[in-house]
Amino acid sequence: MSKRKSSLDTCSTAAKRPVAERQQHLFLVLDDWEKGYSVRKVDVDALGDADADERQPKAFDDPPLTRFDVVHGLSHAFVAHGTTIVAMNPRQVSPAIPAFDTATSAVGILPWPEFRTSFGRPILVSIAGKLFMFVNGGTHYLSDPPPPPAPAVQKPWVWTALDSSLPFTAAYCYAVHPDGRTLVVSARKWRHEAEKGTFSFDTERLEWTRHGDWMLPFRGQAHYVAALDAWVGICRHKGGTGHICSSDFMPVGSGARPTTLPRWKLLGEEKLFDDESPLHLGATLVPMGGGRFCLVESTWHKGDEDVRRRKGVESGMCNVFKRAHDMPDTLVSPVAFWI
């Protein structure tokens, strides 16, 4: 069975941090292991020190931090909760959901939700101290365990399932509201595939609100930037693909009424990736704090057999890894976290 090579083009313009600030890193989740996925740490400051003329594709030299023995082709099932990376879709024989704490290098487990089977493509998001999973028309969340010292009689750490169903079928983009408790989702609605809209979910009241038929201009997850007082994400609008854009956020809460699309604009004229390139697979925008972002792009390696039969393009600096299987993935964008 042939093994295709993929590469990850990482950011190289990270600003230097104050010495007193806790050092964080870019963590990549790669399907380069025959039994699952590997977690690797990248120092983006070190990448930024390299001269532009010296940037050449290279393999990962160091061994992975850890590996997840989980199902291939389901990279959408990874999520960061605090300093922990969680693999939400382990094999059915697994007794629990594996988790890796990047701060302590400890490997832990989370309990299974009420359903113990593979699921569709979910929205997985850490918000207001809870890990939420919106999937298969339903909502499940896991609260953080009590801090030590633990009470004399500990209650089981379990998922909570809500009785209400989701007001949409497939999400196009989502973002956490600056209030820190509300998730905003632009998605396709239930009744008809052509119907679309934007909804918000209050994680305290556990209720959905519909805000109209308009859609936010992002693809995937967008992030709030305090300096801009706006959301920032990868643009999905025609003519804006390959660019980063920003959007004002709308009012939410019990008194919020349906509204129109907030003001949005492209950030800069530079196209950061070419989504029409035969090498391009996907891109992920990772917030690094302080209004800084890292754009991680995944591409086919230009030496791959399938790519050589098409018109290729030159790629910049990247890390190269070999995919350990030929199973198509449900998520072509790279899985990356800044922790």
CA distances from 43 to 27, 100, 288, 294 (A): 9, 19, 12, 11
CA dihedral 315, 320, 321, 322 (to 10 degrees): 50
Q: Which residue has the tokens 């300096």?
A: 227
DSSP letter (8 states) at residue 264:
E
Return the domain boundaries, the chain: 5-13+25-142+167-338
State residue 306's pLDDT score.
54
- Pick the range with the lowest mean pLDDT from 165-169, 234-238, 288-292, 325-329: 325-329
pLDDT-derived band of residue 322, with 50, 70 and 90 as boundaries?
confident
Average pLDDT, the chain: 84
The pLDDT of 2-26, averaged and rounded, is 56
pLDDT-derived band of residue 132, with 50, 70 and 90 as boundaries?
very high
| pTM score of the predicted model | 0.86
State residue 256's pLDDT score.
76
Q: How far is CA 48 from the centre of its chain?
A: 23
State residue 153's pLDDT score.
62
Cα gap 68→90, rounded to integer Å = 8
Cα gap 264→236, rounded to integer Å = 12
pLDDT-derived band of residue 21, with 50, 70 and 90 as boundaries?
low
Q: How far is CA 79 from the centre of its chain?
A: 7
pLDDT-derived band of residue 193, with 50, 70 and 90 as boundaries?
low
Is the CATH number 2.120.10 carried by domain 5-13+25-142+167-338?
Answer: yes
